[in-house]
Structure 1
Amino acid sequence: MNRILGILLCVGAACLSGLASAQDFPTKRVTIVIPFTPAGSNDTIGRYLADGLAKLWSTPVVVENKPGAGSAIGSAHVAQSRPDGYTLLFVSGTFTTNAATQSNLPFDPVKDLKPVGMGALGQMVIVTGSRVPVNNLADLAKAAKTQKIFYGTTGVGSSTQFAGELLNDVAGIKMEPVHYKGGTDALVDMAGGRLDVYVGTVTQVLSSVASNKAKPIAIASKTRSKAMPDVPTVAEAGFAGAEADIWWGVFAPSGTPDAVVTKINQGINTVMGSPEATEFLAKHGAMPAAMSVAAFGDHVTKELAKWRELAVKHNIKAD
């Protein structure tokens, strides 16, 4: 009996200690690892979050760029870090697409990292070039069933390829992918009449749309874009299920106390949900998307399953 009581007291003490550490968190510098090079949306939005958390917590929050292997190097570093909340990963949706296309990742995206919170959400738009004179998504689907249509990607296993293949499945068509080093190259070819379709971020295609070198026919998201309010969503166009948002989120090493994770999540939602953050994100083609720890975990789980299924079906491999 005394032994059982002793065990219960120890468990209770451990729980109280965990709660106390969460209440005090953070008591020292927090490092946010961004697995990409400086500059670009990942780095810019990640640093904004780090600065905001530093002010909110009155504690230094530093950014450490660890690029390489499509975000795998930085992600593995965090996965192997001490699970105390002081080393975090800020990564884009490539976290899930990499897991779907790479069998040799140096970490397990499900077992080694714990979803903490959504940093921001970005929208993608389907644009067409002069080679396919269509006015909407239904026209494109009809054209693709009678002629060969080529869509551009930013590389094998990229979010642009997954968005294109998802559209193929939902529309019941078979557009052929053409892989480029970047979206700019794809848009140049579209302007030159050498590429038919591209699914890219709203921000990325704005200049091409403004100069009439690309025509937006549908927003691949659940809501319309404020930058293109007259362009219908894929669901409004009759192709629900072709949504392919991009996102940025925070992960912690597996084993990080739930109470600490919850406190970090609350901090993320506070910083990124402010009016100032909304204005900042809009300049980068993104928007706030506050989620609880559970909701973000569910989002990541569903994305992993969706992209893995699509990768297998279309034999998308980036190894």
Structure 2
Amino acid sequence: MGKKKSIILIVLTLLLASCSAKGDTKSKDEKNEVDNFPKKTINIVIPFGEGSASDSFVRQYSQVLNKNSNANFQPVNKDGSGGLIGMLHTYQQNNDGYNILEITPSQVISDNLNKSKEVKLLDDFEPLAQIQSDIYVLSVSQDSPIKNYDDLIEKGKKDKITVGGAGSTGLDDFATNDFSKKAGIDMRFTPYTSGSEVKAAALGGEVDVYLDKVVNVVDYAKSKKVRPLVIFNDERIDEIPEFESVPTTKEKGLDVDIGSWRGFVVKKGVPEDVKKDLNKKIKDAYETEEYKKYASDNLVDIGEGYLGPDEFGKKLNKEYEKFDEIAEDLDIK
């Protein structure tokens, strides 16, 4: 019996040692992956089509990242369903840091409206950084009887004001509703499929006013085709002469600051050291002279810029709460 017990103990010891060795190997392999990151191309998933503003941003930023890091970043378009296809594609990949997702408010709104049962931005992803943001402005054609902000409010308290913007139940629709409610006026949103259609509708008199990003309105303001009425921001835009005299929503006593923004997230579970490495690469690229020039040339430096993972995470949660309230008002939840 003694010999049998000894043999059993030896076998058990060998089995335990084997299991322990396997565990150590796995741990070493994982550590190796993290220590040697990145060993291959890092995909930046663009959840919109080629030629879109989001596409142009990622392609430019990827070039800056590639020039200023030891990694190769490759833009990959996964268009469809207002950004959901790209989000789902990224979620289906390994959480090893080799797939980054570009996000905009579209994904937060999709979360809010429960457009996808398979993936949720706030549940399934972690923030890396916000890079840039756009400020919204309400404008009218030059021949409009609405000459300024006060005219807009006066008309809106008496009559219905039609507002043109891009997409239904999207950011433009949400921003219009938020402004209308807080200004106490009657505004009805009219969706169009593109920004060019929105401008044509405004210039052609199909709608009273239109909502768009400052960067898209500047040239029309310079050529005296449109007249900006109010910007959805706390501070005036002194960098652009055509906007120096345009009042802000804060000046008018309105807590309205909805605007677009672009940032990056990764699937939850990416190793901490990998996330730190990605964050450093992204921030270093943001601080280069090359990116600063691009941002200035394209007027994407007039709004809030870089936010790190903690600050960006807080913003995402705040945006969700804001959109939740608006969705309730629109009765679309």
TM-score norm. by structure 2 comes to 0.83
Question: Which among 223, 234, 246 is matched to residue 249 of structure 2?
Answer: 234
Give the superposition deviation at 1:297: 0.7
Give the superposition deviation at 1:93: 2.1
Q: Which structure has the larger Rg over C-alpha atoms?
A: 2
Residues 1:133 and 2:146 aligned together = yes
Partners of 2:85 and 2:223 lie apart in 1 by 39
Give the superposition deviation at 1:102: 4.4
Give SS of 1:116's match.
strand
Unaligned runs of 5+ residues in structure 1 are: 1-6
Distance of aligned partners of 1:100 and 1:213 in 2 relative to their CA distance in 1, 3 Å threshold: farther
Distance of aligned partners of 1:263 and 1:139 in 2 relative to their CA distance in 1, 3 Å threshold: farther
Question: Which among 308, 313, 316 is matched to residue 329 of structure 2?
Answer: 313
Distance of aligned partners of 1:105 and 1:132 in 2 relative to their CA distance in 1, 3 Å threshold: farther
Question: Which among 206, 212, 219 is matched to residue 207 of structure 1?
Answer: 219
Residue in 2 that maps onto 1:272 = 286
Amino acid at match of 2:43: T
Give the superposition deviation at 1:236: 2.1
Give the superposition deviation at 1:202: 1.1
Give SS of 1:188's match.
helix
Partners of 1:19 and 1:222 lie apart in 2 by 46
Partners of 2:316 and 2:29 lie apart in 1 by 30
Q: Is the 8 A contact 1:115 1:296 kept in 2?
A: yes
- The share of aligned pairs that are identical, in percent, is 25
Give SS of 2:318's match.
helix
Amino acid at match of 1:107: V
Q: In the comparison of the two structures, how many residue pairs are matched?
A: 306
Residues 1:261 and 2:283 aligned together = no
Distance of aligned partners of 1:17 and 1:294 in 2 relative to their CA distance in 1, 3 Å threshold: farther
Greater mean alpha carbon deviation, residues 268-277 or residues 86-95: 268-277
Deviations 1:148-177 (A, max 9, x none): 111112111222111111101221222011
Residue in 1 that maps onto 2:92 = 80
Give SS of 1:285's match.
coil
Amino acid at match of 1:259: D
Give the superposition deviation at 1:120: 1.3
Distance of aligned partners of 1:174 and 1:192 in 2 relative to their CA distance in 1, 3 Å threshold: same
Distance of aligned partners of 1:249 and 1:221 in 2 relative to their CA distance in 1, 3 Å threshold: same
Give SS of 1:117's match.
strand
TM-score norm. by structure 1 comes to 0.87
Amino acid at match of 2:209: V
Residues 1:46 and 2:72 aligned together = no
Amino acid at match of 1:249: G
Greater mean alpha carbon deviation, residues 187-196 or residues 223-232: 223-232
Q: Is the 8 A contact 1:41 1:284 kept in 2?
A: no
Deviations 1:84-133 (A, max 9, x none): 11111012221212223343354112211111111211222111244442
